């Protein structure tokens, strides 16, 4: 899969400038700066993208993991609790996919990035 920003269609060179974001079942890479522009873009085709990597994404994953474990290991809310537990796994899976597909193949940080 190409590490191309879905906003400006240029290559993403390292993890430092990478933001992975999800919109329903889509997971796409963006430049950090392009993601900010995307979030300011109010046109319907821009859609609503939620950051998956970075500190916000990691916080969500921790909260969801706690909810998921709680719902599976206790009887809270019964069958509904089980459904919530399954739904809470979704952002965790997204975070893992983001890491495997987009983050791992990229170098952590490149100094003096050349514009391409």
Q: Which is nearer to Zn ion, 6 or 65 (CB)?
A: 6
For residue 19, state whether it binds Zn ion (rule: CB under 5 A).
no
- If the CB atoms of residues 5 and 71 are measured against Zn ion, the closer one turns out to be 5
Letters for 28-57 (x = contact with Zn ion by CB under 5 A, - = none) are ---x--x-----------------------
Sign of dihedral through CA atoms 102, 25, 39, 41?
A: positive
Tell me which of 3, 4, 8, 106 binds Zn ion, using CB under 5 A: 8
Backbone angles phi, psi at 4, to 5 degrees: -115, 130
Q: Is 108 helix (H, G, I), strand (E, B) or coil?
A: coil
Taking the mean position of all CA atoms in its chain, how far away is CA 66? 18
Helix (H, G, I), strand (E, B) or coil at 93: helix
Q: Which stretch binds Zn ion (CB under 5 A): 3-11, 36-44, 50-58, 75-83?
A: 3-11
Q: Among 33, 27, 34, which Cα is nearest to 52's?
A: 27
User: Footprint of Zn ion on this chain (CB under 5 A)?
Assistant: 5, 7-8, 31, 34
């Amino acid at each position: 899969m190409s590490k191309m920003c879905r906003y400006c269609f240029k290559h993403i060179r390292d993890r430092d400038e990478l933001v992975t974001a999800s919109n329903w079942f889509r997971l796409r890479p963006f430049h950090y700066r392009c993601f900010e522009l995307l979030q300011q873009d109010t046109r319907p085709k821009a859609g609503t993208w939620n950051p998956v990597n970075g500190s916000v994404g990691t916080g969500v994953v921790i909260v969801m993991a706690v909810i998921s474990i709680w719902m599976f290991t206790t009887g809270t809310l019964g069958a509904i609790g089980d459904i919530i537990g399954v739904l809470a796994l979704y952002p965790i899976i997204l975070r893992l996919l983001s890491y495997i597909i987009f983050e791992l193949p990229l170098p952590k940080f490149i100094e003096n990035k050349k514009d391409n």
